[in-house]
Homo-oligomer: A and B are copies of this chain.
Amino acid sequence: MTEREPSRALAHPEPADIRLEGVLHALSDPVRLVIVRELAGTGVELSCSYFELPVTKSTTTHHFRVLREAGVVRQTYRGTAKMNGLRRAELDGLFPGLLDSVLTAADAEAARLGAPSARPA
């Protein structure tokens, strides 16, 4: 709840605490899937404000938190910005091939549905 600590630190689940169900659930939301695809596509850390999502800032914060608590992304403060990076190594170690196949599937579906975004040419 109310942390009076420096609190500029964010809690991340350790690999042993990451649950497949949680990851799948995190990935089952369209907005979050867009975030993950973009993160994977660029391969670098991106700030929350980098993303242009069809939701408000509050909701964006919420989605990033869900991703972080599921163990999908790692968030670190960098000045006023909060950078987000995919936890690829941990995820691949825990669930080999899962992230890649989800990403591939998302690309395939986007192409199938004629969605243009999230594809860094």
Which A residues are within 8 Å of any B CB, using their own CB? 16, 19-22, 24-25, 27-30, 33, 94-98, 100-102, 104-106, 108-109, 112
What is the oligomeric copy number? 2
A-B contacts, 15 of them at CB < 8 A, read A16-B112, A20-B109, A21-B33, A24-B24, A24-B27, A24-B102, A25-B28, A95-B101, A95-B104, A95-B105, A96-B101, A96-B108, A97-B100, A97-B101, A98-B105
Cβ-defined partner of A97 (8 Å) among B21, B28, B97, B109: B97
Binding site secondary structure of chain A: helix
Q: Are A21 and B29 in contact (CB under 8 A)?
A: yes
CB neighbours of A27 from chain B (8 A): 24
CB neighbours of A33 from chain B (8 A): 20-21
Question: In the complex, A38 Cα to B65 Cα: how many Å?
Answer: 32
CB neighbours of A25 from chain B (8 A): 24-25, 28
CB neighbours of A95 from chain B (8 A): 101, 104-105, 108-109
Q: Are B109 and A104 in contact (CB under 8 A)?
A: no
Which 3 residue pairs spanning A and B have beta carbons closest together? A95-B105, A24-B28, A25-B28
